[in-house]
Structure 1
């Protein structure tokens, strides 16, 4: 009798998720067949697959994220505090902002690796990109319904789920507000608690403001590390809130203070791109080759044009570019 009830419960949950899901789950089930469906139903949301490694997160941020002293500190404190809290009042909501190649996607990967045994490959980590999953404005209402059902179904299955929204600056205004109830201070909604979930927003919006602040500090002869979160967080949230292209334009998530941290990713300098190159060289299994790395970085684009302080693309594309110089 107990086995029958459990089977029926699993059937109800998976049916609800499948009926209302977005494309990623459909592709997963179709591509994996019955084995994939069985894995989706019975893969354990337990300590076997989910166990926070705070030391690993701290070391990874310190050793692999370059030029982001603010982001390193905020992410470590925010994620560690949340994961060690046995009774959080709401889900953890992080909004990561900065130009391309500054480390936003990489940090979301490091968070996933610190929480889930399989990192980004975990079935409890869900990645959405605006251009792939929410590309047609005519389907906005359908996207809202599907997104709500997707999140509800997966949190029902595993309360410690992680949702990453990339390209927020390309997301249709109003779409992200559809998940506002899941991010609020509710004990549960229709019997489902979202308090243990993690939501991460990635966006280029606000990058201009971050560049402006970093450039002013440099021109005043101040060290980059003198920039504090208080110098950026308020101006960043206001910039995103009032930017029609941010995906968070006039969103209730900001208005109701549901974003726990606006995390700034500063533009990278020459020395930081060099560090990325050295790490990528090691990742490819090569011996240290400072000549090749420096040759690559020298030919990359930096701005302002005369001073050449900040990298236009950060560390993005280094993996493919480096091969040319070896």
Structure 2
């Protein structure tokens, strides 16, 4: 029998986590699989961790969780869940019920046909029109730049085979952009569409600023073309500057030196200064990523955990950082 692991990153999901757990177990109990649910508490500030403790106590060896020492972000949460998972196949999904648990059955059917990645792609019905338009524009633009293909509507909700999970865990980078990593590892992939669902409770964690930073990560993480663009932009501006200088010199030789030109000079200085600052910021972004990679810090720190040690297969009771360190 196939063993399925369901990885669920959580951040401030106290209002919905019990509903999610009841729904996911209702669905999984009706499928011909052995399963485990692996929760990752990403440093929640509400009562999420307390609810996970209660869920783990109620469901024993079919529930595992880890709790971070602080908020490390969803990328770290997914990585921790993949490391904790022991199943032949792993489903990654959110706890807010926007990823319908009923689709797991269809994922397993497609997995049984030999696919290593089964991706659920949502439509954008119910989203704000401006946000949908900007998202579509972003994916069209970014796919002309990056070295991997990113699809609009495709997120983290997917099933991965054990070989695909192992491939992801073998990638050591600190700056992780999972959408790109999922595409980069390849493997046999199939995609199906599903109806967009609204949050069951709580508020979205993806505000405009977070989405903007995420978009920048996607643009920079899988190519160096912006740096090439900086080189070409610098070359074009140098050529234009030389032509402008030649025009000024010829004009002075023919008609003499004229006083007007202050506005033009200021515009050129401000424009070139803005271009230079943009290029320096771009180069700095790449250097900053190199800086963080060289530190070799762990992706996250675990404050508390409960479940099965994936290295030994032995039961692993709830433990705090102090207990593990012998304090």
TM-score (norm 2): 0.25
User: Which has more helix, going by share of residues?
Assistant: 1
- Decide which structure has the larger Cα Rg and report it: 2
TM-score (norm 1): 0.25
